[in-house]
Structure 1
Amino acid sequence: MEHQAQYSDLLQLSKELDHIYHEVSLKMGLSDSGFSLLYALCERGVPTAPSELYAEWSLSKQTGHSALLALERRGLVALSPDPRDGRGKLVALTPAGAVYVKQTIQPLMAAERSSFARLTGEEQNQLVALTEKSVILLKEELSGLLSGPAGTQL
């Protein structure tokens, strides 16, 4: 008899993924937030406004800023003025940061792509489609709960 999946099964898998990335962050000597920022900068490959990175990784401004300062102190990232916005800043990898992500983040990204590629094309499409659908449906279910004066709209 086939096991009927429960939502708790999905939550457990999500927690396991979070744990894997937390362990990777620790092994790299980074906070989870610092890891996320370096990952995003590696992925983007161009200087980016810190607020864009914070939003992309669901980091509060305070948490993101603290992580960014820690990365800056380690010489992995540098802030510079945004030429499009005189008051804004852009964050980019330093030469040392580029070497660091080449040795740490890029091998992780390669492992992610490799593990995903081991799924069949149909499995890849199903995984993405069903995950997207699940996120949309959860947002719908939570929209009434989280909207209004006391909450925020998802």
Structure 2
Amino acid sequence: MAKDKYAPKPLNDIMAGLSGRLSNYAGKSQALDKQQTLLTEFLSPNLADKCRVSNYRDGTLMIEAVSAPIALRLNYLKMDLLSHFRGAGMAELGQIKITANPQSSQRLTQNNASKSANNTTAKKLPMSEQTSDYLTAIAQNAPPSLREKLERLAKHGKK
């Protein structure tokens, strides 16, 4: 019998092929997180919010700043940063490259704006009585654990 190439593969077979790459990504992510923590410890909170560690490869640490003036300021601190990272256990660190990336600033600003807009909208909108009635009707046919939660939620609309 011929093997069906369209047959679904077991998840274990798929994960076995990816596990090496996933563990590499996880290790790199943890290393970058540690380096970001070291950067945040060294810089003032205001300056640390405007830059991030973007990569570390072959003894070169890449730091991304949200604007050219921030990148220039970090360049003035480059030798002190290098000493700080080496003192924290990164003896193989040879150089630090600082780049300005305005797109990261735009993404950060858009994400923060949308999150704050969603938070204020959710706080301002009360639940209608009709929604409360719908929740009560759904709760009647729901399992007991879900029924209690739906009924508690429905009480908010009846206030």
> What TM bracket, shorter-length normalisation?
under 0.3
Q: Which has the larger radius of gyration?
A: 2
